[in-house]
């Protein structure tokens, strides 16, 4: 199953896109900085520039305490 995983941590933000076979198609690691809102927009723009638009595949976001899936069921 293809999907996007995003982790906005206190020091670094990571994003990964897995293709339908589970192989990593794209990965991104950037400093979080002071604003999680700004870094989330940077991640969105980076994904869009690579051709991974919103709504195309499920997105999993989380931190150490929660995990949430956003997107459609296959």
Q: Give the 3-state DSSP-derived string for the chain, with helices as H, strands as E and coil as C.
A: CCEEEEEECCCEEEEEEECCCCCEEEEEEEECCCCHHHHHHHHHHHHHHCCCCCCCCCEEEECCCCEEEECCCC
Is residue 11 pLDDT above 80, yes or no? yes
By residue count, the chain amounts to 74
Is residue 60 pLDDT above 90, yes or no? no
**In the predicted model, what is the mean pLDDT of residues 10-35?**
91
**In the predicted model, what is the mean pLDDT of residues 11-22?**
90
Is residue 31 pLDDT above 90, yes or no? yes
Residue 40's pLDDT is 87
């Amino acid at each position: 199953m293809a999907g996007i995983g995003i982790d906005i941590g206190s020091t670094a933000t990571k994003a990964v896109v897995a293709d339908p076979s589970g192989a990593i198609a794209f990965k991104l690691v950037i400093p979080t900085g002071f604003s999680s809102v700004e870094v989330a927009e940077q991640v969105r723009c980076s994904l869009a520039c690579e051709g991974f638009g919103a709504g195309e595949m499920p997105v999993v976001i989380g931190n150490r305490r929660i995990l949430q899936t956003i997107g459609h069921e296959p």
